[in-house]
Chains A and B, each alone.
Chain A
């Protein structure tokens, strides 16, 4: 699904924060992305959801070189990718319900289908009583669950999760990982950036380890 070869990334002509990255994400694959703070995990995620284009090397999405695609084609690829941001990025003006519903609204689902899906997802996430609230009135963990719900609700083919359990207690963390496992079994390629060694132990998967912007084997 995604192939990177000898990719480098720099921000605004600064130093390279990612150097010579080559990796391949296949359908149904599951990777952990590990590395110290500042090692480039979020930056790599940005390349994976086409939030940035590589400064060198090339990335193929579904066998197409992303740098050579038109903007509208890139938009189509992004629609197949669910992203859980480290900083959640919930829209403060929208209720939790509307935040979770965003991807469905963008893909033009009917109001009825949206209602059913969002309610079911909120039930599962334990957010049912908070659907009408604005995100600021939620705890950190509740916000994180809303962000996760938004990323998975449209059943993406690729799921990128940047520290998805950082604000969750162990029980909820394991529950979320269970959800990821379930999606993964249905074919979703998943990358989870995390510092949490317990998760890795509980759900073993191959590791991608970054050290100062380089993947170490």
Chain B
């Protein structure tokens, strides 16, 4: 079959398959890195902000948006710090000064931020109480707990991760569609040969194997070159960013993706050839 395949299906007819696979391998690995990147970074962030609260004192009233001057905000800050000082649940409270101080020179009030870290064991029950205490004295203070922040981050991260997953999945869809179109075209080009083989008693799977052999060659080349490019660029990026996962996981993924491409090559060819031969008795 090797000889027949080489003789009958010109090598050039599947050259572009190699190029396509190379490109697809890169995108598939790229989206995996993107996925892992988002996952690692967000879990880091979430750990960082766990048991923490953020108090924002905005330069306007929440209800009617009337502006507040800098002096009032400063006074509010002092008040808040006083409330917090004696709370046994609070481990640390830090003022986050705004670094756009230039604006203050023009008489524009700046919001004040105070970050709190709560005692991990007692955080749950006390978050609401602290929020209420502060809002009773300064109604326009915005008090966000770690949960609120985490929800935002997790949501954004989930969207990003979905996008990367979708990218990876659509790579395989796209490859399937393109492969079947290419094989169909080649079947049409080799119509008389396929018919002759059919009459000579070659089974569909034998005819498919003719095409398989010649399509697997460029697929394997595409995979090899694609993987080399990935190794040169992405794995470098991974170790550089120190994403907190071993390269081993990434290598396993690369191996899996290569396997899927080879499997696609085999199954799409068999399927398209079988469908083509269905029209013959």
Contacts and interface: CB of A to CB of B under 8 A. Distances in A.
A65 B37 CA distance: 63
A75 B15 CA distance: 31
A72 B200 contact: no
A98 interface: yes
Given A51-B281, A52-B281, A105-B4, A78 B193 contact: no
Contact of A75 (B3, B4, B202): B202
B192 A81 contact: no
B260 interface: no
Interface in A38-59: 49-53
Interface string A93-108: 1100010001101100
A106 B197 contact: yes
Q: What does DSSP make chain B's interface, helix, strand, loop or mixed?
A: helix
Given A49-B199, A83-B199, A89 B277 contact: no
B7 A76 contact: no
15 contacts: A49-B199, A50-B199, A71-B203, A72-B203, A74-B281, A75-B198, A75-B204, A89-B192, A94-B8, A98-B7, A102-B197, A102-B200, A103-B200, A105-B3, A106-B200
B193 A81 contact: no
Contacts of B1: 105
Interface residues on B, range: 20 to 34
A1 to B, nearest CB: 15
Contacts of A81: 201
B241 interface: no
A71 B139 CA distance: 81
A79 interface: yes
A216 interface: no
A177 interface: no
Interface string A13-52: 0000000000000000000000000000000000001111
B39 interface: no
Interface of B: 1, 3-4, 7-8, 192-193, 196-206, 277, 281
A76 B201 CA distance: 6
Contacts of B277: 71
The 6 closest A-B pairs by CB, nearest first: A79-B201, A78-B201, A75-B203, A53-B281, A72-B203, A75-B201
A77 interface: yes
A91 interface: yes
B192 A91 contact: yes
Contacts of B201: 75-81, 106
Contacts of A89: 192, 196
A72 B198 CA distance: 11
A102 B4 CA distance: 8
A87 to B, nearest CB: 10
A81 B196 CA distance: 13
Given A53-B281, A89-B192, A91-B192, A71 B204 contact: yes
A118 to B, nearest CB: 13
Identify the interface centre among A98, A102, A111: most chain B CB within 10 Å of its CB: A102
Identify the interface centre among B198, B201, B206: most chain A CB within 10 Å of its CB: B201
Contacts of B200: 78-79, 83, 102-103, 106
